Amino acid sequence: MTIVPINRGLFNSGCLDISVTSVLWTEDDKGLHCDLEFAGFVEAWTFMNQVAVLAETMDHHPDWSNSYNKVHITLISHDKGCVTSRDRRMAEAISEMVASGTV
């Protein structure tokens, strides 16, 4: 499966206590964002299923959407109103999943 990042950027500082850098994520006042494009719908849905298992394990769940082969992910700690270390750990875990080719 080929994953093609649509938006590229670096994390910037904000309401956080650890720093993570990844080419897959952008950050604004609404959270960390990642847009991915897959070969097709089944590949995109497979990725989402794997992230869902990860989210359950980490007890931190993304806001996301899917349109055919595209997946948009937003991570934000709604209880804090900003990006926290939980969001950054989740982003790092998703990035590692993508980089390792385990999706």
Q: Is residue 37 part of a domain?
A: no
**Continuous H helices in the chain:** 41-58, 85-100
Q: Tokens 């982003």 — which residue? A: 91
Q: Report the domain count for the chain.
A: 1
Q: Is residue 55 part of a domain?
A: no
pLDDT of res. 20:
29
pLDDT of res. 3:
44
Q: Is residue 94 part of a domain?
A: yes
Q: Is residue 54 part of a domain?
A: no
Q: Is residue 71 part of a domain?
A: yes
Q: Is residue 46 part of a domain?
A: no
> Cβ(83)–Cβ(15) under 8 Å?
yes
pLDDT of res. 24:
78
Q: Is residue 48 part of a domain?
A: no
For every one of its 103 residues, what pLDDT tens digit does the chain have, with 9 covering 90 and above? 444 443 333 333 333 222 223 347 999 999 999 998 888 898 889 999 999 999 999 999 999 999 998 999 999 999 999 999 999 999 999 998 887 776 6
pTM for this model (two decimals): 0.76
pLDDT of res. 10:
30
| Domain encompassing residue 99 | 1-27+61-76+83-103
pLDDT of res. 103:
62
Q: Is residue 65 part of a domain?
A: yes
